[in-house]
Structure 1
């Protein structure tokens, strides 16, 4: 199981090509969201019979100062022959222009450190340079891409304009931080909330806000003629302030859900000048 992808799936709302036009920056809401995770379905071949856990996603920052994202999920994966406890922790920072992206990921399996990846990615005119500090120092040259928050901004912009489909590339520092992935994003029509929505209590005053249904398929080997079958898919409800909920994370052999159970809204930082635009 590709545990390092699980934490980013909620957030995984991030993708876009590097030459996209500039657009106005939406008011992304600084917040902490807590999701209960559970098994949705699993094939016999996967060997998984149960998943139970929780994910905490914290988003802070502004288009003036950049964006910090902290994600931690702890899940218990029950298989036919054993039970495994996975604790995955990620901290990233994306600068205001979407030019640099630092990342630190730690994965623990049964309370033992399994993997630690740390580094910095820098977007240039011809592509992406990734300097990895851990586990071993190395430098990689990858294709043109965007980072997570700048794609979230683009996704909201496209949804507001009524666009329903686009393809893009993404670097999020996950796994070994050595690849750019291709994504296919499907945006549904803006939808009124259901009064019986089980996530409404957690949403509180946002429970009456409209949202867009979103589906993203992630493909390995961006720009290299990779497989036509996605590595995984993520669907969710996206609010215009960047909050996401009602997650379904599908890895082929199994899928799991993430239901919003608690939402804390943070005070916003001082607004940026009106002339501030998203990175181009």
Structure 2
């Protein structure tokens, strides 16, 4: 799953590219899958105003490096603010063509069934920058610094983890927020581990019972800020070499959510379209 992100508190200036890594290298082995996560509130500050929260996240990943990767993502939460309950619904559809360096995104968010954000657009990596054409709600074009797109960033994390790299930095563009900014990230990767029998997700992740995973943490920073800064968002998770993630922690600063994998469906063979 790849809107995922990691930390250290310094301003990142340049896209970090690992030695020997091609900008549009095709990831092999990213398995098409559908994952369902139950979301609960782990902690919240008084400032957040949140008394309780629960929800569900569904993530579906399809395609191959030959034909491109598509994702469908939905995240619904029910938030108790004490004086009332609010239901949020975030939906995202993307398509990424690694060979051509292109990325298409369509993001919508609803609060209590009312649409409050709808951002669509296309992005193209020219090698030295990313050109973005926003098609909704306001049509405009802009350019941002050279960045990884989501599947490409996932490949980078897996490749570096396989080489034993533990801390690295990247700039990414995933079309989130208003679709007009990049994020600077710091990733921390732990040593490979095997699931224990006491792991609460072991049943849902039964197909990966014998596989190692990496504990991963990613911090996202605002690319417009200067000097030492706090991340705007942190995410940690267990990452398998095929791109499946579980045991999520989503840290938004004023509150922290935990995501437990409850269902995993493998939808096809990795790179089947490329044979």
TM-score, reference length from structure 2: 0.91
- 1:45 aligns with 47
Counterparts of 1:129-278 in structure 2, within 5 Å, are 129-221=131-223, 225=226, 228-268=229-269, 270=272, 272=274
Aligned 8 A contact 1:98 1:150 in 2: no
Aligned 8 A contact 2:67 2:273 in 1: no
4+ residue runs over 6 A deviation: none
- Cα offset, 1:17, TM superposition: 3.2
What are the ranges of 5 or more consecutive residues in structure 2 without an aligned counterpart? 7-13
- Cα offset, 1:26, TM superposition: 2.9
What is the CA–CA distance in structure 1 between the aligned matches of 2:234 and 2:116, rounded to whole Å?
25
- Of 4, 22, 25, the residue aligned with 1:13 is 4
- 2:58 aligns with 56
- Cα offset, 1:12, TM superposition: 2.1
- Cα offset, 1:37, TM superposition: 0.5
- Cα offset, 1:193, TM superposition: 1.0
What is the CA–CA distance in structure 2 between the aligned matches of 1:93 and 1:107, rounded to whole Å?
19
- Cα offset, 1:221, TM superposition: 1.6
Match of 2:203, SS state, is helix
What is the CA–CA distance in structure 1 between the aligned matches of 2:105 and 2:133, rounded to whole Å?
11
- 2:93 aligns with 91
Counterparts of 1:91-110 in structure 2, within 5 Å, are 91-97=93-99, 99-110=101-112
- Cα offset, 1:152, TM superposition: 0.3
What are the ranges of 5 or more consecutive residues in structure 1 without an aligned counterpart? 1-9, 274-280
Aligned 8 A contact 1:98 1:147 in 2: no
What is the CA–CA distance in structure 1 between the aligned matches of 2:100 and 2:83, rounded to whole Å?
45
- Cα offset, 1:18, TM superposition: 7.1
Describe the superposition over 1:34-86 as per-residue Cα deviations: whole angstroms up to 9, x where unpaired. Answer: 00011000001111111111010000011111100110011101112221101
- 1:5 aligns with none
Shift in CA distance, 24/106, structure 1 to aligned 2, threshold 3 Å: closer
State the aligned residue count: 263
Describe the superposition over 1:216-253 as per-residue Cα deviations: whole angstroms up to 9, x where unpaired. Answer: 0000026x526510001000000011000000000111
- 2:9 aligns with none
- Cα offset, 1:104, TM superposition: 0.2
Match of 2:128, SS state, is coil
Please tell me the root mean square deviation across aligned C-alpha atoms, in Å.
1.8
- Cα offset, 1:125, TM superposition: 2.7
- 1:29 aligns with 31
Aligned 8 A contact 1:18 1:146 in 2: no
Shift in CA distance, 248/230, structure 1 to aligned 2, threshold 3 Å: same
Mean Cα displacement is larger for which, 186-195 or 78-87?
Answer: 78-87
- Cα offset, 1:19, TM superposition: 4.8
Shift in CA distance, 175/236, structure 1 to aligned 2, threshold 3 Å: same
